[in-house]
Amino acid sequence: MNIFGEKTLVDNWFEDRVLEEDKIKEYLEKRERGELLSQKNASLSTAMLNATQLATSADGWVKFGDQVVFQNPHLFNDEHHLALTFAGETATALEYKSPQVRNTFIIFPTDGSKMGDKLRYCQPFAIATHPSISPEPKFMQSEDGGLLNTKKSRTQPISFSDTPSYLALWRIHCFDPQLRLETDGMPVPVNSPVIVNHSKTNNNLTYLEAFTIATPFGTGQEVTARTELDSHNAECKTNHWKLLYK
């Protein structure tokens, strides 16, 4: 350990002082340009609160390229609805008041479909972040992580990737289990309850009522890929989502 400070005029004191001055100069220049990590994080956090415009649908069907909110259709604690929210490394479910960058996602094609085509039940697609978050979209993905499962609930984690790999493929199932065979391949209606299913693991997108996660926007519910069934072998309300349109 060096027992001398940069002001001690012994040994390589001149080089140490110049190095220290260079570090300070570099820091000040980065701060001037707004390039410090803390500044970037603060700027991104502010940007994620900006309002967005949700898609409209003249014919009532979900389409690729649409900006939507994944909202749970049920009230949470008899107070408010929850919406899927980008939280950096993972996702959370936070109180929904209005569409913002943090809770607005893009329906992204992965099977050769074009922007503007209808999304159909059981058709693979990706969930991409809003363009304001990063120049290139980030894609929500999941994988049965074993030891890498979420710390609190120990369930299948949600993360975001720069590429729409097989881990980032999702599909929509009909809300009513008895109608799933009949609706397979039919267009998905807007603003209607659906099940969001992870293609690789066949687990459903869910929020966990018993587990919370701290975010820059407050405490939200942990979001994972986990199928939760009731006594009738139907998905519980935590597995329910609707693709919210304007």
Say what the pLDDT of residue 52 is.
97
Q: Are residues 110 and 179 in the same domain?
A: yes
Pairwise CA distance, residues 232 & 220, whole Å: 29
Asked if the structure places residue 4 within a domain, the reply is no
Residue 141 has pLDDT above 60, yes or no: yes
Asked if the structure places residue 167 within a domain, the reply is yes
Q: Are residues 110 and 206 in the same domain?
A: yes
pLDDT tens profile 170-218: 999 999 999 999 999 999 999 999 999 999 999 999 999 999 998 888 8
Q: For the whole model, what pTM was predicted?
A: 0.82
Q: Are residues 32 and 142 in the same domain?
A: no
Q: Are residues 23 and 70 in the same domain?
A: no
Residue 117 has pLDDT above 70, yes or no: yes
Q: Are residues 83 and 197 in the same domain?
A: yes
Residue of 216, 238, 195 whose CA lies nearest to 86 = 216
Asked if the structure places residue 6 within a domain, the reply is no
Cβ-count burial of 237 within 10 angstroms (0-12 exposed, 13-18 middle, 19+ buried)? middle
Q: Domain tally for the chain?
A: 2
pLDDT tens profile 14-68: 666 666 666 656 655 554 554 434 334 444 567 889 999 999 999 999 999 999 9
Asked if the structure places residue 185 within a domain, the reply is yes
Asked if the structure places residue 212 within a domain, the reply is yes
Say what the pLDDT of residue 229 is.
95
Asked if the structure places residue 8 within a domain, the reply is no
Q: Are residues 19 and 115 in the same domain?
A: no
Q: Are residues 31 and 146 in the same domain?
A: no
What is the domain extent for residue 34? Answer: 13-44
Asked if the structure places residue 147 within a domain, the reply is yes
